[in-house]
Amino acid sequence: MSQTYVCPSAVPEAVTDWWSTLGQPRRSPSLDVLLIEDDNDIAEMYRRRLVSDGLQVAIAEDAETGLRLLREDRPAVLLLDIRLPGEDGYHVLQEVRADPALAHIPVLMLSNYGEPSTIRRALEMGASEYLMKSSTTPAEVALRVRAYLTRGSDLQ
Amino acid sequence: MREAVNALNWATDAAFVLLAAASIRQYIRHPQRHRLDIAAAILLLTLVAALGRLQPALPSSWMPAITDLEIALLLASAYAFLRFRADFIPLPRPWEIAIIATLVVIVAYTVAVGLSTAGARPTPAQEVALVLVVGAWVACIGEPVIRFALASRGRPPVQRRRLQTLAGGYLLLIIVLVVAGLASSAADNQVVSLVIACISLLSVPLIYAGFSAPAWLRRIWREAEEEAFRHATRDLVTYSPTRSEMGQRAVEWAVRLTGGDGAFIAEPNGAVLAAAGMEPTWAQELLQQLPLETEDPVEIAANRTAVRLPLPSPGTAPASLVVVTGPFTPFFGTDEQLRLRQYAANTAAGLDRASLTERITALERTKTEFLNLASHELRAPLTVIRGYLSMVKEGSFGALPPDLSEVIPVLLDKADQMNRLVEQMLEASRLEEGRLELKLEMSDLRELVRAAMEESRPLSTPIHKLQMQAPPGEIPVRVDRQRVTTIVSNLISNAIKYSPKGGEVRLLVDGGGGGSALVAVRDEGVGIDPSDNERVFTRFGRITTSETRNVPGTGLGLYLSRELARLHGGDLTFQSEPGAGSTFTLMLPLEAS
């Protein structure tokens, strides 16, 4: 990243931190989870469960919207379906891992594709976890999200 | 020596008479233009020889006229042979007229000069006439000989040998005429005469084999290809993935087999399935001309015949195999026709098998696609149903009235069950497509069985008693843990389902038996009627009795379990006594610990 070059080490850390956020969309501190899912009923179900846990949730119905929201709002955790209209979940995953500003976001794949090759591909591309929608209850999803959120705050 | 030459000359003349008779007989049996031409060529040549034989017996005053007649007959025979060639390789009309004119001029000149020398030295004019006659004859015969020799290349064995033999026979005649005619002084030498006599005698069988090869000779010619053909026929019948591929190979072999020029297979509706050596459009036209089945070859054009044989298929109208003769093999002998009939029977069987395979393959593919799609599409709504039910159960929507809190777990259980069925269908389709990959890991079989028991516990009711008996030591196996657990829990759930009156379900785990680890699941349920034994492991082969009619299931469980066991190098077997219960035994290869 460019901040080390632009800011001499004499500059106080608080300033460099502030400096590094300039020119980048500000991370909305409130968005915990972005869910990219084209099935409205499924999306709404997970949203309800996560909201009831007190989390801030946004939903995107396709890859394009999802990527835009990712860049604008910087969610703490991304829940990502594979089968989407237009570009698929793999594309989003690739974009996220290739973008230094987003690469740190844990990505939980949430799909009904169960072929071993599909799962392997997602994990190799950098997915943090792969969950089969039909055999995962919303409570389990919420539990996994919580785990990532806690881990994230521990790091901070 | 002189007697020997004399005898040989007599034999040659006799052979030519027989040859002429054979060629005329051929023509009478199959009156076709090319047969007439070859018969004329041979007959005229025989007449020349006969006149030579008669000469000494005739008055010497007839000599000049006889000699003129001989010359005319000789050149006429050459022309007839050229006509024979033109039957296969058309000769342009102007050429033909020019050739006839030249021949007539030569005959006229020869008559004017008079070749009869009566023992005196020939005059220069007579020598010119002699050279012209021999030259014309050699040209008329030589050109077709070269043509036939060239045309023989790259043809099926029978055709090739035939053309080569015919060309060879006539080549010998050319040699005889050139040597005897031009070097008349040499003809006085007894040795040369003997050689010439031998050569001309030898030409007879060659010419005969060329225009009318006997069946045994054709068989010998074909022998080299016989072995390859047998292999091809076997391949044809037992292995050809599709009907069109099978058809293509079949027609190619039909052409080689008969020495024909082209062949095709037409479907009952007239569509050309495959064609070799001919355009499909021509094949279609030809099909209209031919009766449904031909007893003998049917003439379809000048010097071309075709045979049409039905390729019967049970339950549908027959397809047809049509083989067309070529310009160089203008007819099929009975031998070819017989072989063609046998071949058609094989081809019909092969085509039947190929279309069956095609149908099955298409069916399998559709089914697998359906299973994949269905599984995926079924999972989406199931996700929502299970999801919300689980949320209702955990109180996300407030406290539940007591009745509802009893009902929700049942609903959730049913949704789980459905989810498992979808998983089974998917697993079956993976298995059929050969896409199923095992994730092999070292495991303790006892642990896997315990996990399976935990999974199945919700199924058991108070009337069922689940018991496990295992040795104290580890039972090491290298298996896909998830799948082995699924197999065992499937066996347990079957044991429970098929014990509607309750009883004990005993799991016996053993690692002692000759390289195999065993899990036996024994129940005291309804058992399996021996008549159902074969259906137990078949796909969708569910066994129902009056007591177990309402047992849910896809009929995939046992099928999958056994296939998975076998993929591990193990097996799944059972023993049963109706009314007393069943024991299913899973065997897995034991690993050295």
Distance from CA of A55 to the nearest CA of B (A): 15
| Assembly ipTM | 0.77
- In Å, how far from its chain's centre is CA B33? 35
Q: What is the chain B residue with the closest CA to A131?
A: B383
pLDDT in tens, B202-219: 888 888 888 777 878 888
Topology match between the domains B2-213 and B223-358: no
Mean residue pLDDT across chain B: 83
- The rounded distance, in Å, linking the Cα atoms of B190 and A25 is 118
pLDDT of residue B414: 86
Name the H helices within A1-156: 3-6, 13-21, 40-52, 63-73, 89-98, 116-124, 138-155
Q: What confidence category does residue A10 fall into, taking pLDDT thresholds of 50, 70 and 90?
A: very low
Q: What are phi and psi of B234, to 5 degrees?
A: -65, -45
Domain boundaries in chain B?
Answer: 2-213, 223-358, 368-433, 440-589
- Residue from B552, B426, B425 nearest B494 by CA: B552
- In Å, how far from its chain's centre is CA B439? 42
Domain boundaries in chain A?
Answer: 31-155
Residues 396-415 of chain B whose Cβ lies under 8 A from any Cβ of chain A: 396
pLDDT in tens, B333-349: 666 777 788 888 888 88
Name the more confident of B228 and B134: B134
Residue B97: its H or E element: helix B93-113
A45, A113, A115 ranked by CB distance to B384: nearest: A45
SS3 for B557-581, per residue? Answer: HHHHHHHHHHHCCCEEEEEEECCCE
Residue B497 DSSP symbol: H
Q: What confidence category does residue A156 fall into, taking pLDDT thresholds of 50, 70 and 90?
A: very low
pLDDT of residue B3: 82
Residue A132 DSSP symbol: E
Distance from CA of B426 to the nearest CA of A (A): 9
- Residue from B532, B519, B513 nearest B583 by CA: B519
Q: Does A116 touch chain B (CB under 8 A)?
A: yes
The rounded radius of gyration (Å) of the Cα atoms in chain B is 43
Contact A134 B419 (CB under 8 A): yes
Contact A42 B384 (CB under 8 A): yes
Residue B15: its H or E element: helix B2-29
Report the C-alpha dihedral over residues A143, A145, A151, A152, rounded to 10 degrees: -160
CB contacts, 8 Å: B394 with chain A: 139
pLDDT in tens, B372-400: 676 678 888 999 999 999 999 988 888 88
- The rounded distance, in Å, linking the Cα atoms of B180 and B192 is 9
pLDDT at A124 over 90: yes
Q: Does A40 touch chain B (CB under 8 A)?
A: no
Distance from CA of A98 to the nearest CA of B (A): 30
Residues 358-387 of chain B whose Cβ lies under 8 A from any Cβ of chain A: 376, 379-380, 382-384, 386-387
Name the H helices within B114-214: 124-151, 157-182, 190-211
User: For the domain A31-155, what is the CATH code?
Assistant: 3.40.50.2300
pLDDT of residue B330: 52
Contact B439 A48 (CB under 8 A): no
Question: Spelled out in words, what is the top-level CATH class assigned to the domain B2-213?
Answer: mainly alpha
B382, B391, B437 ranked by CB distance to A134: nearest: B382
CB contacts, 8 Å: B422 with chain A: 134
Q: Does B422 touch chain A (CB under 8 A)?
A: yes
Q: At what angle do helices B190-211 and B157-182 cross, to 10 degrees?
A: 150
Contact B391 A139 (CB under 8 A): yes
Distance from CA of A53 to the nearest CA of B (A): 10
Q: What confidence category does residue B34 fall into, taking pLDDT thresholds of 50, 70 and 90?
A: confident
CB contacts, 8 Å: A132 with chain B: 379
Strands A107-111 and A129-132, sheet pairing: parallel
Whole-model pTM over 0.80: no
B396, B419, B423 ranked by CB distance to A49: nearest: B396
Q: Does B482 touch chain A (CB under 8 A)?
A: no
pLDDT of residue B218: 80
User: For the domain B440-589, what is the CATH code?
Assistant: 3.30.565.10
- Residue from B298, B266, B566 nearest B438 by CA: B566
Question: Spelled out in words, what is the top-level CATH class assigned to the domain B223-358?
Answer: alpha beta
